[in-house]
Amino acid sequence: MNQNSLTDTLNVSLISPSISSYKSTDSTIKLGIMASGNGSNFEAITQAIDDGRLSAEIQVLIYNNPDAYAAVRAAKSGVPAVLLNHRDYKRRQDLDGQIVQTLRQYGVEWVVMAGWMRLVTSVLIDAFPNRILNIHPSLLPSFKGSHAVEAALAAGVKIAGCTVHLICLEMDSGPIVMQAAVPVLPGDTPETLHARIQVQEHRILPDAIALAALYPERGLSNLP
């Protein structure tokens, strides 16, 4: 395989629904982002906003890990960042209650869990019904949980990918908004496969946000 063929193979993806211009909305989407780690999906959203692909404003970043690089990215983008360390709360419901209070304080309309590594409760879900999106590194409903990439490789699948879906109480469930598939290559490790999946996460997350916000009253079964 020559270098051009290898590059083409690495860049292969299948996205559904196909990426289109979903930025035309009646108003700017007011987003609250929740992240626990590096924040690369946070940056993908800010880049899409800057490029005019997504008509939105990030009102606040909430992060639960004091060392999360997402907070550094937020500072560089001029986005308020609020640390809500889960270790400071005895119950998940107490943490979620503080998250809800913070999101409302900043006027958030839609919530995006962009690498949020904590299970959420009905306290948060009920406060933003059908308005919380999550990005997960598998083609749901396959390979739920925090080790999805490793599980996909262990199962020997030939196609992996990522999913943007609405949050419900069951982990990594809820109506699917958009998915992207990528090939699993011979010799892939969790690191190489995850890197390929992340490229597609960064592509579909901004479009999925716009798509979901355009059609909330019609239901996801009627999405184009």
Please indicate, yes or no, if residue 16 is contained in any of the structural domains: no
Q: How many domains does the chain have?
A: 1
CATH code at 108? 3.40.50.170
Domain ranges, residue 173: 26-214
Please indicate, yes or no, if residue 224 is contained in any of the structural domains: no
Catalytic residue among 136, 165, 194, 202: 136
Please indicate, yes or no, if residue 1 is contained in any of the structural domains: no
C-alpha 170/C-alpha 149 separation (Å) is 19
Residue 41 marked as a ligand binder: yes
User: For the whole model, what pTM was predicted?
Assistant: 0.88
Answer for the pair 111, 134: CB distance below 8 angstroms, yes or no.
no
Please indicate, yes or no, if residue 19 is contained in any of the structural domains: no
| 136 flagged as catalytic | yes
C-alpha 197/C-alpha 162 separation (Å) is 6
Please indicate, yes or no, if residue 2 is contained in any of the structural domains: no
Residue 4 marked as a ligand binder: no
Please indicate, yes or no, if residue 95 is contained in any of the structural domains: yes
Please give the pLDDT value at position 6: 43
The token pair at 222 is: 């009627």
Residue 182 marked as a ligand binder: no
Please indicate, yes or no, if residue 21 is contained in any of the structural domains: no
Please indicate, yes or no, if residue 145 is contained in any of the structural domains: yes
Residue 120 marked as a ligand binder: yes
Answer for the pair 124, 155: CB distance below 8 angstroms, yes or no.
no
Please give the pLDDT value at position 17: 86
Q: Is residue 2's pLDDT more than 70?
A: no
Quote the DSSP letter at residue 143.
S
Tens of pLDDT, residues 9-53: 455 568 988 766 454 556 799 999 999 999 999 999 999 999 998
Tens of pLDDT, residues 74-133: 999 999 999 999 999 999 999 999 999 999 999 999 999 999 999 999 999 999 999 999
